[in-house]
Amino acid sequence: MRRWEEAIRQVTPYVPGEQPGGENLIKLNTNENPYPPSPAVRSLLKEMDGGNLRKYPDPASAELIEALGERYGLGTDRIFVGVGSDDVLALCFLTFFNSGRPVLFPDITYSFYKVWAELFGVPYETPALDGEFCIRAADYVKENGGVIFPNPNAPTGLYLPLAQVEEIVKANQDSVVIVDEAYVDFAGDGEGMKAAEGTSAVRLLEKYDNLLVVQTFSKSRSLAGLRIGFAMGSSRLIRALNDVKYSFNSYTMNMPSQLLGAASVRDEAYFKETVARIKATRENAKARFRHLGFSFPDSQANFLFVSHPKVQAKMLFEALKRERIYVRYFDAPRLENYLRVTIGTDEEMERLFEFLEAYLKEG
């Protein structure tokens, strides 16, 4: 091995879901929104002629942060934006998890956490979810260098009630606790959870300055292609994130993303309508899957994590792919007999269920 090769950082990268090309496929594998972004976003995009692109974008993303501040009732010093929540979360690992004590996150969760921990040399421990795939708040009440978990969790879709989130934040006031709310806008209105409002930990921010809530435009706002994520927290935490960002790259978010993102945030009616549609489709999908003999945790996200007692998940994954229906399969312990299926439009779900009915009958 050459000397320079020895000096290369050793990492095992995160593997994102496939982005297959071509027509006539049903893409239920990366939790994208099946509906287009707000008409306000699309008409602004048409108006843009690109002349301004000769200039650097606003490094502070002020317009976008102002729109978010109004939407969430927070001062602009309490919001940080990044290039997708992946960018925000990676910066969080770099900024907050430096104590040398282990950071805690669930054994079954968003698999990028482990990759960032390895990349930045952050020690970590992974308390196991219980037999029903639930996070046990008590597992996070111990010495640590930070806590991070998604709510709803991925890939299970399970939502941890806010009282338990608060228990974790309250017990860890010497650490930064990050709640990754990539899917929180879809929580509520489910079978097991009627309350549509108040599912986000944003409301705990008034009480705890060690809490950081991270959200994304990729799912509920149909803007995965723009790459916008944001963090909300105390001004002290936001300042720390900004200091690290400006030590790394001042111009992270491009100008069109800032303006289009702001237009999306200001169209509350469209946001509510599409989120409600996806939740209704999800609840119907639960009934259909159950009818076909599948079992699954009671997801509050825009995906279901399903398993069938008579069919191997991997075989079904491959059969679906041959039909040009893409879902996500994780070849990992405890997950290997499940498929994660993103909620599509009613028509897409109908085609999925037609295929599953025929497939199960044959088998």
Residues that bind ligand PMP (CB under 6 A): 84-86, 110, 150, 154, 180, 182, 216, 218, 224, 229
Longest dimension (CA), the chain: 61
Q: Which is closer to ligand PMP, CB of 298 or CB of 323?
A: 298
Q: How far is the CB of 228 from ligand PMP (least distance, A)?
A: 7
Q: How far is the CB of 253 from ligand PMP (least distance, A)?
A: 12
| Cβ density class 296-311: b for 16+ within 10 Å, e for less | bbebbbbbbbbbbeeb
Q: How far is the CB of 133 from ligand PMP (least distance, A)?
A: 15
Strand partners, 150: 180
The answer to whether residues 302 and 183 touch, using CB atoms and an 8 Å cutoff, is yes
- State whether residue 359 is helix, strand or coil: helix
Site of tokens 């991070």:
148
Q: Which is closer to ligand PMP, CB of 227 or CB of 308?
A: 227
Q: What DSSP string runs through 140-160? A: G-SS-S-EEEESS-TTT-PPP
Q: Which is closer to ligand PMP, CB of 94 or CB of 356?
A: 94
Distances (CA, A) of 149 to 32, 85, 154, 178: 20, 13, 9, 7
211-216 sheet: strands from edge to edge = 79-82, 229-233, 211-216, 177-180, 147-150, 103-104, 124-125
What are the respective helix, strand and coil percentages of the chain, to the nearest 5? 40, 10, 45
Joined tokens for residue 240? 């720390």
Q: Which is closer to ligand PMP, CB of 180 or CB of 185?
A: 180
Q: How far is the CB of 269 from ligand PMP (least distance, A)?
A: 23
Q: How far is the CB of 180 from ligand PMP (least distance, A)?
A: 5
Q: How far is the CB of 224 from ligand PMP (least distance, A)?
A: 5
Q: Which is closer to ligand PMP, CB of 256 or CB of 323?
A: 256
Q: Which is closer to ligand PMP, CB of 19 or CB of 52?
A: 19
Distances (CA, A) of 52 to 19, 59, 255: 31, 15, 8
Q: Which is closer to ligand PMP, CB of 86 or CB of 185?
A: 86
Q: How far is the CB of 41 from ligand PMP (least distance, A)?
A: 16
Helices (H), the chain: 3-6, 39-47, 62-72, 84-96, 112-120, 162-171, 235-245, 255-266, 268-291, 313-322, 346-362
Joined tokens for residue 166? 């608060």
Q: How far is the CB of 31 from ligand PMP (least distance, A)?
A: 6
Q: Which is closer to ligand PMP, CB of 145 or CB of 261?
A: 261
Q: How far is the CB of 360 from ligand PMP (least distance, A)?
A: 29
Q: Which is closer to ligand PMP, CB of 30 or CB of 38?
A: 30
The answer to whether residues 145 and 103 touch, using CB atoms and an 8 Å cutoff, is yes
